[in-house]
Amino acid sequence: MSASGAFLEVTDLHAGYGDARVLHGVDLAVGRGEICAILGPNGAGKTTLLRALSGMVRVRGGVRLDGMDLTRRPPDALARQGVAHVPEGRGTFMPLTVEENLRLGAFTRSGRRRGRAAVEADLERVCAYFPVLRARMRQAAGSLSGGEQQMLAIGRALMLRPRLLLLDEPSLGLAPMVTEELFRIVRTINEEERTTVVVVEQNAHLALGVAGQAHVLESGRIVLSGPAERIRADEQVARSYLGYRI
Ligand SMILES: Nc1ncnc2c1ncn2[C@@H]1O[C@H](COP(=O)(O)OP(=O)(O)OP(=O)(O)O)[C@@H](O)[C@H]1O
């Protein structure tokens, strides 16, 4: 546990690509078992923030998970600490079957593959959340619908038994009914497994509907933070992200 009591604690985080600076001193505290939504306009740095948390971009500043300093650790080391990142565009292996994709996620925190019985139990666990995947086990991932591919991507992340699940735009390109179902399942996973979730989402209605806390990122800086209901009631957020005036 960090000094602030947060499970995930980000302090004065700077990140970018080469000379292009994108994050300019982000502070973030996420409680254990909480769902945290990151909102913000295009290009604000939301994806970069998730990449920084999963070790995919170089950072300056501090990242602590459950009190452990994870700053500048590579992605595999972060995955071993239970950080699972579902990127925008999903990152599934299209020619592989659903089952092969899921099995690829089944590594232990020590980096070894889990025992056979444990992997089977995890496949069952994932299929209980996403029954459609059970029916598609032998199909190539590339033959799935967009919603099914997103479920597969989240399912593969769950095979890691993550402590921190990072979701980048899970609703991208999906029909409203499918995204509602997805967010309902994410909430169930969060409740049943106490997985801490950080979700970047353009659909602010959905994200604020499941999140406990929310943060608005603009030009690489957090400009507004608070309980999701309070963020939803903020006039500027309503106008910019929810499509109505208060
Ligand atoms: N791989 C990269 N190399 C160089 N610049 C990048 C790279 N990825 C993103 N950027 C730049 O970093 C800035 C922030 O991008 P980022 O994708 O983090 O924003 P975002 O808030 O997630 O935007 P969106 O909602 O459009 O996905 C943008 O100016 C973008 O052009």
The span from the CA of 170 to the CA of 150, in Å, is 7
Q: Where do the structural domains in the chain lie, given as residue ranges?
A: 8-90+162-242
Q: Residue 116: what pLDDT?
A: 84
ipTM: 0.96
Structure tokens at 10: 């980000």
Write the pLDDT tens digit of every residue in 37-57: 999 999 999 999 999 999 999
Q: How many CB atoms lie within 10 A of CB 229?
A: 11
Which alpha helices (H) appear in the chain, and where do they start and end? 46-53, 75-80, 98-104, 116-129, 131-135, 146-158, 176-193, 204-210, 228-232, 235-237
Our answer on whether the CB atom of 40 is closer than 6 Å to any ligand 1 atom is: yes
Check residue 161 and give its pLDDT: 92
Look at residues 35, 36, 34, 18 and name the one whose alpha carbon lies nearest to residue 26. 36
Distance CA 6, CA 56 (A): 22
* Cα–ligand 1 centroid distance for 47 (angstroms): 7
CA of 225 to the centre of ligand 1 (A): 21
The 10s digit of each residue's pLDDT in 167-187 is 999 999 899 999 999 999 999
Ligand 1 atom 13 nearest Cα:
43
For 111-149, letters b (16+ CB in 10 Å) and e give eeebeeeebeebbebbbebbebbeebeeeebeebeebbb
The answer to whether the Cα torsion of 159, 165, 171, 172 is positive or negative is negative
The alpha carbon dihedral of 235, 227, 82, 125 has a sign of negative
Tell me the average pLDDT of the chain: 92
Take residue 144 and report the two structure tokens written for it.
């799935």
CATH number of 8-90+162-242: 3.40.50.300
pLDDT per residue over 87-132, tens digit each?
987 778 999 999 999 998 876 666 667 788 889 999 999 999 999 9
Q: According to the model, what pLDDT value does residue 216 have?
A: 95
- Radius of gyration of the CA atoms of the chain, in A: 17
Instruction: State how far the Cα of 222 lies from the Cα of 244, in Å rounded to an integer.
Output: 22
**Pairwise CA distance, residues 193 & 190, whole Å:** 6
| Separation of alpha carbons 136 and 129, rounded Å | 14
- The answer, yes or no, to whether any atom of ligand 1 lies below 6 A from the CB of 171, is no
- Provide φ and ψ at 53, rounded to 5°: -70, -25
Confidence of residue 245 (pLDDT cuts 50, 70, 90): low
Identity (one letter) of the amino acid at 185?
I
pLDDT, tens digit (0-9, with 9 covering 90-100), for 128-166: 999 999 999 999 999 999 999 999 999 999 999 999 999
Q: What is the mean pLDDT of residues 58-66?
A: 95
The partner residues of 105 in beta bridges, in order of sequence, read none
Determine which residue's CA is closest to atom 29 belonging to ligand 1.
43
pLDDT value of position 246? 53
